[in-house]
């Protein structure tokens, strides 16, 4: 009965989404408010219906209902209970159901929280959210249904079927399931996909409000006020997903890095880039009534990149170790992407042609803050384009070659990205330091120059010290100078506010906490910038100065790398509860001749049981590194190969990599500060609009 109830609940959710879409359109067109209210109620119903469907699938996983195809494909009797729950998003059909549930949850919250304040936009917000949800429910109900059953056919083949009764003769009962992909049996991958999904789905809400504003002509800042928190929440989840994905890659995949410029990794990065640009330029529209077209364009691009990223992950069009297997959803998803692009971009162009997106003001000076924000937008958009091309060049040129329009296929590997992205990052970090020091409307070059003297002088001094002490990588020296400048400029702005309040009799801590409490959006944005500075320090150190060696050792032998030594002490085998075999090397880490730690790099060998014969066969061999971590560097070792007790180790020295994770923590804390409501929002907004150079709006805040 679990499968049948699951089919009914997902089917009813689809019907509710379709009804909500049609009723909202008709109600808006015919001015029938009762129909719009009815549409809202139907849209709200999708959330409990899909909650029930997800709980049913989890129940089936926990109870090993192997007659359900998805349960058999993603679980087994020896899969730990925790991973049975997270198996919900472990493969195509379940992850689509999970995506739909999150979409219904975001729509549920937006329709409740914004119903009164943005009543005129609500009919078309319902249309966009339910159209998006309805599309994914089409996939769930008719193409990738997670409640399909397995049935034995006369020829012995196993075929999925939806509507046969559970007691029917011929039901195929496998002795055990295939089990969850071993790569997914890690805490990072348990948390990483849901966070990315939350980020992807979250950006549908600001897009829905933007689309509604384009349709209704309500093109002021109202839709921005309604959605800026939704955009920041989506950006927060997407940031967390990217950071945890990097940490998972570093801890589990064993290649010594955290970002490989894989097309599916880039698919999550792309909407993050345009979403970041949107959060910056939204401040300008709220303050000066400018960049209306830009804000619409950026949120539309963000939504389209979310759909494109979902398409890339699930269609098999791009080559990636992170993608799901090729399935039948590629073409319908591409059609949905095309429809969304034509409708939204066409509507944007129509409004622009009629002059409806003209700003109420113009840029007065090249040195104004709004000018800096516009340049920031261009840099983020340019970075988006070069990453997009690197991710899709092979797929696009393959299609063109198949059509006879090209003779060669372009395949851009990871080496393509650093040279082309580097210059954009230089500009972004430079603006991160300069923009907060510039005033709204107009800042003289002399005044801006005086504000920049101290952070610039200290950054140049640091560069000189690095060069004098033997750092010969000019990009690294310049990069450290740049992030130092951005960080010091941000700290200078914070210090100005603290010093001013301290001069009025407050102690430093009270002055600092009061500043944050009175204007969380601004100072939360400053902390986000500081997080990016700390993260930049880690990225430069771990990429420019990483060192690697590979050596084969017998028991008792050592290898050396920088000031570290690794002594190999022996190899042993262990059996885990989930059926995997672990080949573990015992090793001692020395630094400057002293023992500083013990590590256990290992190889995990996973086995799959053939459901017909019951035989076990090895299917996956994962290398789990052993790491000795300090703030200054990681000493990171993995087993490359073993034969008897003789082991080949690949060892990495990763300087300052801990700053990558520390910067991520600061960035997340800053986002939470920016999300928290200010005590006096009106006065905070007045301070934002003040022309004094010492007052500024955070580019990343809410």
Phi, psi of 637, deg, nearest 5 = -130, 145
Better pLDDT: 229 or 286: 229
Confidence of residue 618 (pLDDT cuts 50, 70, 90): low
Q: How far apart are CA 226 and CA 240, in angstroms?
A: 23
Confidence of residue 169 (pLDDT cuts 50, 70, 90): very low
Q: What pLDDT was estimated at residue 165?
A: 39
- Contact call for residues 527 and 666 (beta carbons, < 8 A): yes
Q: What pLDDT was estimated at residue 686?
A: 42
Burial class (CB in 10 A: 0-12, 13-18, 19+), 31: exposed
Phi, psi of 72, deg, nearest 5 = -65, -35
pLDDT tens-digit profile of 47-83?
Answer: 999 999 999 999 999 998 888 888 888 887 777 777 8
Q: What long-range pairs does 411-417 form, CB within 8 A, spacing at least 24?
A: 413/261, 414/260, 414/261, 416/261, 416/390, 417/261, 417/386, 417/387, 417/390
Burial class (CB in 10 A: 0-12, 13-18, 19+), 178: buried
- Contact call for residues 602 and 583 (beta carbons, < 8 A): yes
- The CA distances from residue 509 to 143, 163, 677, in Å, are 58, 66, 21
pLDDT tens-digit profile of 396-431?
Answer: 998 888 888 888 889 888 899 999 999 999 999 999
Confidence of residue 615 (pLDDT cuts 50, 70, 90): low
Confidence of residue 238 (pLDDT cuts 50, 70, 90): very high
Most confident of 80-84, 247-251, 357-361: 247-251
- Contact call for residues 560 and 554 (beta carbons, < 8 A): no
Q: How far apart are CA 68 and CA 616, in angstroms?
A: 22
Confidence of residue 319 (pLDDT cuts 50, 70, 90): low
Residue % of the chain over a pLDDT of 70: 86
Q: Coil, strand, or helix at residue 146?
A: coil
Q: What pLDDT was estimated at residue 609?
A: 59
Q: Name the β-bridge partners of 552.
A: 648
pLDDT tens-digit profile of 73-107?
Answer: 888 777 777 788 888 888 889 999 999 999 999 99
Q: What pLDDT was estimated at residue 166?
A: 39
| 653 pLDDT more than 90 | yes
| 554 pLDDT more than 80 | yes
Strands (E) across 206-284 are located at none
| 274 pLDDT more than 60 | yes
pLDDT tens-digit profile of 170-209?
Answer: 344 445 677 777 667 767 677 888 999 999 999 999 999 9
Q: What pLDDT was estimated at residue 324?
A: 52
87 HSE (CA, 13 A, CB side): 30
Tokens, residue 422: 């580097």
Q: Which residue, 282, 285, 287, is CA-closest to 689?
A: 287
Residue position matching structure tokens 């015919």: 30
- Output the CATH code of domain 1-178: 1.20.120
Confidence of residue 28 (pLDDT cuts 50, 70, 90): very high
Contacts of 336 (CB under 8 A, 6+ apart): 135, 307
Q: What pLDDT was estimated at residue 242?
A: 94
| 322 pLDDT more than 60 | no
pLDDT tens-digit profile of 115-131?
Answer: 998 999 999 999 999 99
Q: What is the mean pLDDT of residues 274-285?
A: 91
Q: What pLDDT was estimated at residue 1?
A: 83
Confidence of residue 449 (pLDDT cuts 50, 70, 90): confident
Better pLDDT: 471 or 106: 106
Q: How far apart are CA 642 and CA 517, in angstroms?
A: 57
- Contact call for residues 254 and 327 (beta carbons, < 8 A): no
Confidence of residue 361 (pLDDT cuts 50, 70, 90): low
Q: What pLDDT was estimated at residue 160?
A: 45
For 81, the enclosing helix (H) or strand (E) is helix 81-86
For 23, the enclosing helix (H) or strand (E) is helix 2-30
Q: What is the mean pLDDT of residues 233-239?
A: 96
Confidence of residue 560 (pLDDT cuts 50, 70, 90): very high
Angle at 50 between CA 47 and CA 55, to 5 degrees: 120
Q: Tell me, rounded to whole angstroms, the distance of Cα 646 from its chain centroid.
A: 41
| 493 pLDDT more than 80 | yes
Q: How far apart are CA 29 and CA 16, in angstroms?
A: 20
pLDDT tens-digit profile of 669-697?
Answer: 999 999 887 654 444 444 444 433 333 33
| 303 pLDDT more than 90 | yes
Confidence of residue 154 (pLDDT cuts 50, 70, 90): very low
| 42 pLDDT more than 50 | yes
Q: What pLDDT was estimated at residue 462?
A: 93
Q: What pLDDT was estimated at residue 176?
A: 65
**Number of other residues whose CB lies within 10 A of the CB of residue 389:** 14
**Domain layout of the chain by residue ranges:** 1-178, 186-355, 413-533+671-689, 547-655
Is the backbone of residue 153 left (phi > 0), alpha (psi -120 to 50) or beta?
beta
Q: What pLDDT was estimated at residue 416?
A: 94
Q: What pLDDT was estimated at residue 115?
A: 93
Q: What is the mean pLDDT of residues 647-676?
A: 94
Better pLDDT: 316 or 642: 642
- Say which range, 132-136, 247-251, 416-420, has the weakest mean pLDDT: 247-251
Q: What is the mean pLDDT of residues 380-397?
A: 94
- Contact call for residues 489 and 693 (beta carbons, < 8 A): no
Q: How far apart are CA 305 and CA 278, in angstroms?
A: 13
Q: What pLDDT was estimated at residue 538?
A: 96
What b/e readout covers 185-221, taking b as 16+ CB neighbours within 10 angstroms?
Answer: bbebbbbbbbbbbbbbbbbbbbbbbbbbbbbeeebeb
Q: Which residue, 668, 675, 665, 679, is CA-closest to 513?
A: 679
Mean pLDDT, all residues of the chain: 86
| Size of the chain in residues | 702
Q: Which residue, 626, 623, 645, 646, is CA-closest to 636?
A: 626
Q: What pLDDT was estimated at residue 440?
A: 76
Better pLDDT: 612 or 338: 338
| 545 pLDDT more than 70 | yes
pLDDT tens-digit profile of 499-524?
Answer: 988 888 888 898 888 888 888 888 99
Tokens, residue 659: 């700053």
**Number of other residues whose CB lies within 10 A of the CB of residue 123:** 24
Alpha-carbon torsion, ordered 269, 271, 277, 279, to 10 deg: -110
Q: What pLDDT was estimated at residue 53?
A: 97
Confidence of residue 163 (pLDDT cuts 50, 70, 90): very low
| 294 pLDDT more than 70 | yes
- Contact call for residues 230 and 114 (beta carbons, < 8 A): no
- Contact call for residues 646 and 553 (beta carbons, < 8 A): yes
- Contact call for residues 292 and 275 (beta carbons, < 8 A): no
Confidence of residue 158 (pLDDT cuts 50, 70, 90): very low
Q: How far apart are CA 104 and CA 122, in angstroms?
A: 15
């Amino acid at each position: 009965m679990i499968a049948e109830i699951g089919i009914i609940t997902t089917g009813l959710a689809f019907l509710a989404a379709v009804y909500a879409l049609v009723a909202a359109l008709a109600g808006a067109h015919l001015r029938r408010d009762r129909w719009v209210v009815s549409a809202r109620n139907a849209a709200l119903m999708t959330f409990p219906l899909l909650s029930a469907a997800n709980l049913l699938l989890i129940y089936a996983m926990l109870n090993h209902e192997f007659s359900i195809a998805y349960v058999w494909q993603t679980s087994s009797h020896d899969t730990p209970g925790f991973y049975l729950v997270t198996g919900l998003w472990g493969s195509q059909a379940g992850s689509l159901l999970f995506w739909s549930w999150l979409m219904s949850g975001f729509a549920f919250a937006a329709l409740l929280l914004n119903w009164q304040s943005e009543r005129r936009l609500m009919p078309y917000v319902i249309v966009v959210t339910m159209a998006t949800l309805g599309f994914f429910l089409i996939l769930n109900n008719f193409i990738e249904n997670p409640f399909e059953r397995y049935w034995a056919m006369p020829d012995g083949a196993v075929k999925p079927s939806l509507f046969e009764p559970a007691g029917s003769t011929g039901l195929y009962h496998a002795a055990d399931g295939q089990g969850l992909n071993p790569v997914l049996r890690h805490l990072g991958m348990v948390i990483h996909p849901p966070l990315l999904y939350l980020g992807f789905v979250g950006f549908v809400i600001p897009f829905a409000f933007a689309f509604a504003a384009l349709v209704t002509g309500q093109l002021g800042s109202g839709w921005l006020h309604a959605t800026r928190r939704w955009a920041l929440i989506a950006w927060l989840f997407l940031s967390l997903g990217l950071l945890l994905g990097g940490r998972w890659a570093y801890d589990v995949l064993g290649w010594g890095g955290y970002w490989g410029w894989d097309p599916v990794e880039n698919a999550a990065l792309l909407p993050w880039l345009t979403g970041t640009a949107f959060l910056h330029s939204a401040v300008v529209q709220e303050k000066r009534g400018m960049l209306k077209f830009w804000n619409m364009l950026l949120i539309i691009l963000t939504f389209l990149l979310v759909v494109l990223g979902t398409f890339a992950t699930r269609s098999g069009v791009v080559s990636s170790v992170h993608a799901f297997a090729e399935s039948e959803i590629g073409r319908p998803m591409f059609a949905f992407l095309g429809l969304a692009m034509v409708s939204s971009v066409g509507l944007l162009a129509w409004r622009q042609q009629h002059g409806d997106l003209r700003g109420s003001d113009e840029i007065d000076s090249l040195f104004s803050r709004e000018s800096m924000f516009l340049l920031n937008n261009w840099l983020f958009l340019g970075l988006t384009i070069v990453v997009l091309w690197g991710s899709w060049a092979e797929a696009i040129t393959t299609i063109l070659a198949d059509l006879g329009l090209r003779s060669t296929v372009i395949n851009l590997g990871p080496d393509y990205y650093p040279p082309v992205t580097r210059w954009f990052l230089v500009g972004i970090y430079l603006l991160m330091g300069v923009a907060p020091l510039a005033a709204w409307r107009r800042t003289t070059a002399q005044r801006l120059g005086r504000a920049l003297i101290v952070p610039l002088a200290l950054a140049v001094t640091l560069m000189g010290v690095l060069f004098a002490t033997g750092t010969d990588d000019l990009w690294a020296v310049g990069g450290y100078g740049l992030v130092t400048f951005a960080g010091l400029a941000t700290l200078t702005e914070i210090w100005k506010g603290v010093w001013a309040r301290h001069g009025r009799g407050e102690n430093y801590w009270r002055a600092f906490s009061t500043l944050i409490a009175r204007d969380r959006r601004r100072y939360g944005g400053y902390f986000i910038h500081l997080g990016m500075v700390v993260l930049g320090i880690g990225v430069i150190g771990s990429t420019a100065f990483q060192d690697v060696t590979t050596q084969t050792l017998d028991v008792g032998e050592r290898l050396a790398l920088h000031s570290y030594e690794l002594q190999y002490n022996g190899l042993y085998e262990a059996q885990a509860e989930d059926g995997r075999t672990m080949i573990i090397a015992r090793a001692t880490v020395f630094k400057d001749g002293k023992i500083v730690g013990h590590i256990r790099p290992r190889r995990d060998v996973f086995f799959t049981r053939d459901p017909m014969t019951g035989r076990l066969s090895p299917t996956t061999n994962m290398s789990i590194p052993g790491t000795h971590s300090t703030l200054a560097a990681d000493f990171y070792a993995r087993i490359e190969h073993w034969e008897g007790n003789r082991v080949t180790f690949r060892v990495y020295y990763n300087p300052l990599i801990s700053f990558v994770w520390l910067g991520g923590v600061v960035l997340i804390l800053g986002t939470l500060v920016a999300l928290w409501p200010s005590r006096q929002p009106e006065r905070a907004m007045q301070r934002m609009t003040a022309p004094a150079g010492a007052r500024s709006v955070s580019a990343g805040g809410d």
